Structure 1
Amino acid sequence: MPAHHRLQSLTSPWVYLLVLKPDETAMARLTPPGDLAVKTLDGRACRTKDGLLKELAVTLAFPDYFGENWDALEECLCDLSWVAGTGHLLLIEQAEALLAGADKDYRTFISILRAAGAYWASEEAGRSPKPFHTVCVVTEERKSARRRWGLPLWKGR
């Protein structure tokens, strides 16, 4: 593994699209460093904003006060003090189902993920910067399920 992996980067892009061939897995393609906190969402459980927020709350173990709205999501993503690791990787598998048919919500969610990545890369509140990246994972055959992803393609490390 190279000395500096892209998932350890403190520079954008913060959100990627990973297109898998039939015989590939996301973890094999990404080969994330072992010290990153890796959390995986199933896009099929995130077809609606409500489903997405509930799935994120469970997967990332959000505190009980999580308000299940976009502002509360951004607040929790910019905290994560309860998650150990030198950085964060959020994998969204079957991403073609993520907010399917809800383009405005999809764009809002991606914007929040980008803001969280930028926040974690900064030296806010005197803490050391950490990487925070999200990778939306689809197969080649399902990539066209969303007309416009608006994300750079993951190409190697």
Structure 2
Amino acid sequence: MWNSHQAPLVVARNTEVKLSEVLPSTGAIAVTNVDGRSMADLDAVFTQFYDGLRFPTYFGWNWPAFSELLRDLSWLSANRFLIVVDNADLLLRDEPIERPAFFRILKEATRHWAGPGLAAPGEPSRMLVLLVCEDSQVAELEDELRAAR
């Protein structure tokens, strides 16, 4: 899984995922788990990521700052990053207009971590994002992720 995906991956809650498929075989990895149930609005999204990834205090609490920090992460002592968004179908439910920006930024961050100087040619992205949801929500979430530009 780590080796084959460079964009956020939508995973049904009951899917069995082998640890060897999610975690790389070498390197220090930072893992954070955030919950869509606790991210009903934009402030809650920023708070969950601020706490989960230990964002610096200078975080600007806006999309540009969020994007910048997801592409930096230099304050973490890791060279790979796994972000698990549980109940991803529920995030930003009070502000659905913000969902495309959230998904676009996640896609940009995973592409960034696969870029020159960060990952060797042919090497997978150093960031993997798993969007976990109910089986019935997988197709809709995948469509939403594809549409986010």
Tell me what 2:122 maps to.
none
Matched length:
138
**Correspondence for 1:51 among 32, 44, 56:** 44
Task: Verify the 8 A CA contact 2:32 2:52 in the aligned structure 1.
Answer: yes
**Correspondence for 1:32 among 17, 20, 23:** 23
Distance 1:137 1:40 in 2: 10
- TM-score, length of structure 1 as denominator length: 0.74
Distance 2:24 2:91 in 1: 26
Secondary structure in structure 2 of the residue aligned to 1:121: coil
Mapping of residues 1-150 of structure 1, within 5 Å: 6-9=1-4, 12=6, 14-21=7-14, 31-33=22-24, 35=27, 36-123=29-116, 127-129=117-119, 130-140=125-135, 143=137, 147-149=140-142, 150=144
Structure 1 runs of 4+ with >6 Å offset: none
- TM-score, length of structure 2 as denominator length: 0.78
Q: CA RMSD of the aligned region, Å?
A: 2.6
Give, as a single letter, the amino acid of the residue that structure 1 aligns with 2:133. V
Task: Verify the 8 A CA contact 2:13 2:134 in the aligned structure 1.
Answer: yes
Task: Verify the 8 A CA contact 1:92 1:136 in the aligned structure 2.
Answer: yes
| Structure 2 unmatched ranges of 5 or more | 120-124
- % identical equivalent positions: 25
State the Cα distance separating 1:39 from its structure 2 match.
1.0
Between 1:61-70 and 1:91-100, the stretch displaced more is 91-100
Distance 1:62 1:70 in 2: 14
State the Cα distance separating 1:20 from its structure 2 match.
2.3
Secondary structure in structure 2 of the residue aligned to 1:72: helix
| Structure 1 unmatched ranges of 5 or more | 1-5, 153-157
- Label 1:95 to 1:73 Cα distance change in 2 as closer, same or farther (>3 A): same
